[in-house]
Structure 1
Amino acid sequence: MNAPTMPPGLRWDDTRSRLKVLTPELADIALRDPHIITGVDRSKESMARLMPAEDGAPTIVQFFELWYTVNDNYTPFNTELRKVFTARSAAECADRFTALAARHAAALPARGDLARDYFGPYLTTSTFAMLGVPEGDWPNLTKVAKLVIHLFKQQLLGVTEHSAAEVRAFETVMRYLKSLTDRLLADGSSPFLDAARTLSTMDTGTWPIAALVGQLLMAGIEPMITASAVAVREIWRDPALPGRLRDGDADAGQVAEEVMRQQPPFGNIFRFVREPCDCLGVRLDPGTVVAIDTAAVNLAEAPAADPAHGCPVRPSAVLTFGRGTHYCLGANSARLQVATGLRELVRRPVALDPSAVRIDTHNNLKEVRAVPYTLQEES
């Protein structure tokens, strides 16, 4: 496969050995075609080797492989979860999100880093609340989230060797995550936990549910922090926009949606060819990695707009949060969490220099390095 043979809308990335998809039409095909799947297709025998013992702990590799494994339960598992993460379910958490955002905004020091001092704590705790985790477990689960996020980034970089200290720490947090999962399944209360109890009957153990919790923490918290930081940078580029958001003359949700459409936290959505096909107009062999360029697809039909004017397309057309069969489970909650965080932030006398905000692109992820701010004296 080489560049001259590529149809319009496709590009072969020889450096990374993957096919790039650049247009909405081809993105829809890549996301819908049954020959191109979201994970690694494994037999039941392989799954048995993959699963750790109920009283044990997975290796780092085992744990992350659980995220990308497709087995006989894949479709019913996802169908059940979709019932939980609806717009209506997210709206039921709105008051809790607002209360947590207000709590963390009120605790801001006079100067610091918004990613560390506000967005990180607020988006972490609001995600725990949405999942139904009791507040007493939040400090320990925060440690789990930080380690899982760190090790996931290492996985993306191809790191396979870890220090003895990292391995010991991972085993400790995995045992905690498993015990917490079992406790929540036994007596926890939330729409997610109700669905998780049903899902837990599909496998012989509850490690898939523990892995799901870990995946939701990684796939949700970090991208929301990035999205919030990018949105703040764009909001403060317009000196009038924080006041307009505070007064209700602009909508924080629409501003954030447009910012994420233009600058999505994830550079690509990955799919894997399971069986030979030519659905994209070129022969695809099993094992081919298909990388759907989120920004290119998002902006192909609707150019970048002024964030203050809101997003010019429907939310379902924003690839970051779902197009075709690309369904981000936390999409509705993430939209509400980010918008709520921005609304509470603009109520504070925050002074911020957009040029001082540092957001890097690291592998496939945008990563927030610093969002420095100071609080002004209120008159």
Structure 2
Amino acid sequence: MATTLPLERHDPTAPPARYRWLQEHEPVSRVVGADGLPAWLVTSHDLVAAGLADPRLGLTPPGVPVDERASLFRDGPAHTRLRRLVARAFTPRRVAELAPRIEALADEHVAAFVTAADEGPADLVDLVAGPLAVGSLGLLLGVALEDHPRFRVLVDDALRADPSDHALLAEAERAWGALMGFTSELVAGARERPADDLLSALVGIRDADDGRLDDGELVALVTALLAAGVITIRGGLAVGVVHLLREDALAAFASRSDTTEVVEELVRRAGVEVFPRWAQADLELGGVAIAAGEKVLLRLEAANHDPARFADPEALCPGRPGPHLGFGRGPHHCLGAALARVELAAALTALSRRAPGLRLAVPVEEIPWHRSEVDSGPTMLMLHT
């Protein structure tokens, strides 16, 4: 009988225990998804990495039409063209130039959080993780600071989708429309008043072979960047703080010489997932035959906790050899990985310096948690100073 998702968790910060058995005995396993439909669940590190790089596993079922502007769900040459164009503007150098401003923004939000927490438990997600994610993206794109509150409300509303709740899904669709409308305004503004920011660079990109991004592509691409950036940092920072507090390691973070390696370990242990894949043709993965049209779930969380790849995977071990899959791999590797690393390091440094005595207001088991197909993290993280 096929395993039914979601799998039971005894600890919200750790992967389901069932992953370990599957990795040892059935790394490509037939399951019934949360939507009630069959799928293949891939849990071993090597097979997840192989699947992420396999062009026969696409982001949409074969034969299903994709909006040409939907950059997030395109594969093959269309996605390669967009990726090549965007990579010319979305560079680590550009992020590095923004690092001091992101660090100042993180310190500002952490200072406000500490002031609130001195009076009683305060929510890290609401006061630091959410606004830092939105603010950093605003700095990168060139969104005026006064627009950030509206920006954040639109992103939060758009991400509040629950496929099992039609009322909430309808609200989310309306919010996505509003967010894309806001992004359209940004694109128009960048065309009229170009500046030294990512959005203006994207608007101005032209390539002899790849042409240029049209407005539809720009709006879809920037909206996708906004959503992915908020998901990654809002969940990743909250989960990372929980891990560091449980390890009694937050207070020493800023004074460590290996903060970069600590951040990599926290990304490895975070719960962000990639979108499901669909077999575009018959293929074999780990000796298992997968038919064209079948759904494949490549689980990053399982891969990043595979004991065949990482010794003692539940432990925090900065400097582990070899890369993790926290930002994916292959043609859809996270474009914002460099930005996410800067944000996480900046926020954790500010927390370490301003609130070394930070502690959880409730036991880990009582932290309210959100999990979707691609997103995982506390909806609220109440902390004492």
Normalised to the residue count of structure 1, the TM-score between the two structures is: 0.79
- Residue of structure 2 in register with 1:13 after alignment: 31
Question: Retained in 1: the 8 A contact 2:327–2:337?
Answer: yes
Matched, 1:339 2:345: yes
Q: Distance in 2 between matches of 1:138 and 1:318?
A: 32
Cα-to-partner distance string for 1:19-51 (whole Å, 9 max, x where unaligned)? 1112232223212222212346679xx56xx47
Q: Distance in 2 between matches of 1:33 and 1:234?
A: 33
SS in 1 for 2:290: coil
- Residue of structure 2 in register with 1:328 after alignment: 334
Within a 5 Å distance, the mapping from 1:182-221 to structure 2 comes to 182-186=188-192, 187-198=194-205, 202=211, 205-221=214-230
Question: 1:232 Cα deviation (Å)?
Answer: 1.0
Question: 1:194 Cα deviation (Å)?
Answer: 0.9
Question: Retained in 2: the 8 A contact 1:244–1:250?
Answer: no
Q: Distance in 2 between matches of 1:311 and 1:279?
A: 30
Q: Distance in 1 between matches of 2:342 and 2:152?
A: 21
Cα-to-partner distance string for 1:223-267 (whole Å, 9 max, x where unaligned)? 21111111111212244x233223x2354432232133134233x
- Residue of structure 1 in register with 2:17 after alignment: none
Question: Which letter does structure 2 place at the counterpart of 1:230?
Answer: V
SS in 2 for 1:302: coil
Question: Which letter does structure 1 place at the counterpart of 2:50?
Answer: I
Change (3 A) 1:218 1:169: closer
Q: Distance in 2 between matches of 1:36 and 1:368?
A: 30
Matched, 1:351 2:358: yes
Matched, 1:121 2:131: yes
Question: Which letter does structure 1 place at the counterpart of 2:95?
Answer: A
Q: Distance in 2 between matches of 1:165 and 1:312?
A: 43
Picking from 106, 115, 125, the partner of 1:101 is 106
Question: Retained in 2: the 8 A contact 1:220–1:330?
Answer: yes
- Residue of structure 2 in register with 1:35 after alignment: 56
SS in 2 for 1:104: helix
Picking from 248, 253, 260, the partner of 1:245 is 253
Question: Retained in 2: the 8 A contact 1:141–1:177?
Answer: no
Q: Which moved more, 1:174-183 or 1:325-334?
A: 174-183
SS in 1 for 2:159: helix
SS in 1 for 2:304: helix
Change (3 A) 1:84 1:313: farther
Q: Distance in 2 between matches of 1:124 and 1:164?
A: 23
Normalised to the residue count of structure 2, the TM-score between the two structures is: 0.78
Question: Which letter does structure 2 place at the counterpart of 1:194?
Answer: A
- Residue of structure 1 in register with 2:239 after alignment: 230
Q: Distance in 2 between matches of 1:7 and 1:310?
A: 29
Q: Which moved more, 1:280-289 or 1:100-109?
A: 280-289
Question: Retained in 1: the 8 A contact 2:265–2:318?
Answer: yes
SS in 1 for 2:29: strand
Question: 1:171 Cα deviation (Å)?
Answer: 4.3
Question: 1:334 Cα deviation (Å)?
Answer: 0.5
Q: Distance in 1 between matches of 2:146 and 2:132?
A: 16
Change (3 A) 1:361 1:340: same
Q: Which moved more, 1:337-346 or 1:75-84?
A: 75-84
Q: Distance in 2 between matches of 1:373 and 1:31?
A: 37
- Residue of structure 2 in register with 1:59 after alignment: none
Question: Which letter does structure 1 place at the counterpart of 2:219?
Answer: A
- Residue of structure 2 in register with 1:274 after alignment: 280
Change (3 A) 1:118 1:188: same
Question: Which letter does structure 1 place at the counterpart of 2:147?
Answer: D
Q: Distance in 2 between matches of 1:89 and 1:176?
A: 24
Identify unmatched segments of 5+ residues in structure 2: 4-21
Change (3 A) 1:279 1:236: closer
Question: Which letter does structure 2 place at the counterpart of 1:96?
Answer: R
Q: Distance in 1 between matches of 2:60 and 2:142?
A: 27
SS in 1 for 2:230: helix
Q: Distance in 2 between matches of 1:329 and 1:166?
A: 24
Q: Distance in 2 between matches of 1:78 and 1:158?
A: 33
- Cα RMSD of the aligned pairs, angstroms, is 3.3
Q: Distance in 1 between matches of 2:175 and 2:328?
A: 34
- Residue of structure 2 in register with 1:362 after alignment: 371
Cα-to-partner distance string for 1:281-322 (whole Å, 9 max, x where unaligned)? 333222211111112212221132642x414134xx211113
Question: Retained in 2: the 8 A contact 1:269–1:294?
Answer: no
Cα-to-partner distance string for 1:82-134 (whole Å, 9 max, x where unaligned)? 34444333222211111101111222223311111112112210121112222
Question: Which letter does structure 2 place at the counterpart of 1:67?
Answer: L
Question: Retained in 2: the 8 A contact 1:226–1:368?
Answer: yes
Change (3 A) 1:269 1:310: farther
Question: 1:273 Cα deviation (Å)?
Answer: 1.2
Q: Distance in 2 between matches of 1:164 and 1:282?
A: 38
Q: Distance in 2 between matches of 1:251 and 1:194?
A: 33
Q: Distance in 2 between matches of 1:76 and 1:166?
A: 29
Question: 1:343 Cα deviation (Å)?
Answer: 0.4
Q: Distance in 2 between matches of 1:115 and 1:368?
A: 8
Q: Which moved more, 1:330-339 or 1:188-197?
A: 188-197
Matched, 1:144 2:154: yes
Change (3 A) 1:373 1:26: closer
Q: Distance in 1 between matches of 2:168 and 2:245?
A: 40
- Residue of structure 2 in register with 1:310 after alignment: 318
Q: Distance in 2 between matches of 1:219 and 1:260?
A: 15
> Across the two proteins, how many residue pairs are aligned to each other?
348
